[in-house]
Chains A and B, each alone.
Chain A
Amino acid sequence: MSEFLQQLLNGLSLGAIYALIALGYTMVYGVLRFINFAHSDVFMVGAFIGYYLGKLVPENTVWGGLVVLLAAMIGCAVLGMVIERLAYRPLRGAATLNVLITAIGVSLLLEYSGQVFFGATPRTFPAVFPSSNYSFGSLVISSNQILVIVVAALLMVALQLIVYRTKIGTAMRAVSLNPKAAQLVGVNNDVVISFTFGLGSALAGAGGILYALNYPSIDPLMGVMPGLKAFVAAVLGGIGNIPGAALGGLLLGTVETFVNGSQWSTYKDAIAFAILIIILLFRPAGLLGKFTVEKV
């Protein structure tokens, strides 16, 4: 029983990171109807911003850690908006496939220029937050795991508030529903899309820091696997749906952890993805996604 609870805890803290990255995928998809493959590399840049800043702030302090977290989020938000401005905005109105291929191009550009600027050798991420372990009976949880779950939960609630309770959130939903109609009623689509990218990328930046805190070996290709998993999580939950992305991330992280702890751990990814296929067979729009019929 205690093993089960421990695995659940491990799974939730892994899933919370997937969920944070998945939110970025889902938000951009919700507004623009395309998958921003460069998202997982923004996540990597977030970790590297943390790496360089982490050397400047005193180690093992809460405020130092928060400064690093905030700086990585801001840095990634700016990067996300710059990517959107330079690579995606000129293609607005072009076929989705063109934008998709551009996204793959941006992703590779970030990965390989990352190897040039940061070097391809893995770096050891500094301990920016103080860390300790708490045990409840035989259950052990580290402060970093708690941090991941708490920060992820806070950011998700904040995101939900922004999307449903603010003016810019209303504009985002309007653009998502019908970009042309939104423009007609006075929404500046470019600003809204730029904001969406900034917000999504900030979440990826936070995800990068939280990931690096738990797995302190970072390299320019570190975003590839978590990015893929988060993408799957977003589809699993229903792409374009914010609570769905969170649910998908937590589910995928938990399933992966349970398989990993069993004797079938070699088939970890195969089993996780098989579950994805089965869920999509029964719910083609994902767990929380709405299946909409295309009107002719």
Chain B
Amino acid sequence: MKSLPRLRHLATLAAASLLSLTARAADTIKVGEFACLTGKDATFGQSQHKGILLALEELNAAGGVLGRKLEVISEDNQSKSGESATVAKKLLSRDKVIAILGEVTSGRTLEVAPLAQSAKIPLIASGATNPAVTQKGDYVFRVCFIDDFQGTVMAKFALTDLKAKKVATLTSVSSAYSVGLAKYFKETFVAGGGTVVAEQKFSEGDKDFRAQLTAIKAANVDAIFIPGYYTEAALVARQARSLGLTMPLFGGDGWESEKLLEIGGEALNGSYYSTHFTPENKEPAVATFVKKFKARWKNETPDAYAALGYDALYILVDAIKRSGVTAGPKLRDAIAATRNFSGASGITTLDKDRNASKPATIIAVKGGKLQFHKTVAP
């Protein structure tokens, strides 16, 4: 009989500790993140994740927001289509996050946008540039430029810098990003007096592009526009060079990855791509970010998606501070009202369509290295 009170004591203790656990968990503000941490586009997700973690650690070290600490719950979609919706449902229904950050690719962000919209939970995309993303609803935002702008920039670049009159495009038909970017590129390029003489296509995950490149070779073009992601772009470059195609290759922000040069090697020399960010930018906010990022991640140089991920969390927290709430239309309105926010990727101002308008940076590949070429203002 003696053990009974002790048991009861234990039970109360357990209950108390359980209560305190839930109480502590409720104290944090939960933010969801979905990213392609593994799979074909893994460097996108890894960069975004490292940027967000850096922002999180800084914010919590400074005491969090509204007196509460932040917590980021990250989910991996393995670069696969279909996975993002699954992990987003988990974040929304089980973790009850107050906002979702991600992703870099448009196709996978488009999967999550309707879910976030119907749950009235803000979604802040880091690198999804396809215009359709924020058209899914007024709870969907992005901190990067859109492909109308990027396509125009690259078309003008091809006409003036590359002096190209005839180009070929090699588009991934199963990627919303690729199809959109190719379309906007063509519109401006043709309006500027150029012609797109060959429009070749492939699907995500393809590895053999020799057939398309042989057809492009027969069309005799000045340059090839490849609006795809880095794995494909690098393989295309290698196969193009091995088929004797020596003209410049150029693409969009999908090329932004440390793996681009690793896979493509020398074949990429003489190529160009547009992106959101360059670590060579001398603006104080950018320079500080580069320094902090290197200190946190073993001297790794941040890329565009690290900077955009970092900014996405800071912009959310900035909106929480200004509105004083962590949910509902007030938070949404506060995010939408982001103006002249100075962050890692430069100045962010969200327009009425919840898109950021930012300058595009053009990077050149020369001698096996990435070099800053120029910046084009919106």
Q: How far is the CA of A211 from the CA of B78 in the complex (A)?
A: 23
Q: Determine whether the beta carbon of A217 is less than 8 Å from that of B234.
A: yes
B173 close to A (CB within 8 Å): yes
A14 close to B (CB within 8 Å): yes
A61 close to B (CB within 8 Å): no
Q: Determine whether the beta carbon of A124 is less than 8 Å from that of B262.
A: yes
**Chain B interface extent, by class:** 20 to 34
Most central of A14, A119, A122, A140 by chain B CB within 10 Å: A122
A205-227 vs B: 1/0 string, CB under 8 Å? 00000000011110100000100
Most central of A7, A119, A256, A261 by chain B CB within 10 Å: A261
Tell me which of B37-45, B331-339, B369-377 binds A: B37-45
B89 close to A (CB within 8 Å): no
Name the interface residues of A134-153: CB closer than 8 Å to any CB of B: 135, 140, 142, 144
Q: Determine whether the beta carbon of B238 is less than 8 Å from that of A216.
A: yes
B201 close to A (CB within 8 Å): yes
Most central of B40, B207, B238 by chain A CB within 10 Å: B207
Kindly report which residue of chain B lies nearest to residue A120, judged by CB atoms.
B38
Tell me which of B213-221, B290-298, B342-350 binds A: B213-221
Partner of A215, one of B201, B207, B212: B207
Partner of A3, one of B42, B203, B218: B218
B243 close to A (CB within 8 Å): yes
Kindly report which residue of chain B lies nearest to residue A260, judged by CB atoms.
B211
B341 close to A (CB within 8 Å): no
Residues on B with beta carbons closer than 8 Å to the beta carbon of A178: none
* A contact face: mostly helix, strand, loop, or mixed: helix
Q: Determine whether the beta carbon of B263 is less than 8 Å from that of A257.
A: no
Q: How far is the CA of A75 from the CA of B361 in the complex (A)?
A: 47
B27 close to A (CB within 8 Å): no
Most central of B39, B78, B173, B205 by chain A CB within 10 Å: B39
A122-B42, A260-B211 as given contacts; A216 in contact with B244, CB under 8 Å? no
A292 close to B (CB within 8 Å): no
Q: How far is the CB of B254 from chain A (nearest CB, A)?
A: 15
B248-287 vs A: 1/0 string, CB under 8 Å? 0000000000010011000000000000000000000000
Q: Determine whether the beta carbon of A120 is less than 8 Å from that of B215.
A: no
Residues on A with beta carbons closer than 8 Å to the beta carbon of B242: 131, 133, 140, 142, 144
Q: How far is the CA of A259 from the CA of B235 in the complex (A)?
A: 20
Residues on B with beta carbons closer than 8 Å to the beta carbon of A257: 208, 210-211
Partner of A261, one of B173, B215, B231, B259: B215
Q: How far is the CA of A259 from the CA of B208 in the complex (A)?
A: 13
A14-B208, A261-B211 as given contacts; A216 in contact with B38, CB under 8 Å? no
B178-197 vs A: 1/0 string, CB under 8 Å? 00000000000000000000
Q: How far is the CB of A275 from chain B (nearest CB, A)?
A: 16
Q: How far is the CB of B246 from chain A (nearest CB, A)?
A: 11
Q: Determine whether the beta carbon of B38 is less than 8 Å from that of A7.
A: no
Q: Determine whether the beta carbon of B207 is less than 8 Å from that of A217.
A: yes
Residues on A with beta carbons closer than 8 Å to the beta carbon of B231: 122, 217
Partner of B202, one of A6, A142, A144, A265: A265
Partner of B243, one of A11, A14, A140, A144: A140
Binding site for B on A (CB under 8 A): 2-3, 6-7, 10-11, 14, 115, 119-122, 124, 131, 133, 135, 140, 142, 144, 214-217, 219, 225, 256-262, 265-266, 268
Besides A3-B218, A265-B201, 17 new A-B residue pairs in contact (Cβ under 8 A), listed by A number: A115-B38, A120-B78, A122-B39, A122-B259, A124-B262, A131-B242, A140-B242, A140-B243, A215-B208, A256-B211, A257-B211, A258-B211, A260-B208, A261-B214, A265-B212, A266-B201, A266-B203
Question: 22 A-B pairs, CB-CB below 8 angstroms?
Answer: A6-B214, A7-B214, A10-B210, A10-B214, A14-B208, A119-B38, A121-B42, A122-B40, A122-B259, A133-B242, A142-B242, A215-B208, A217-B207, A217-B234, A217-B263, A225-B205, A260-B212, A261-B212, A261-B215, A262-B215, A265-B202, A265-B211
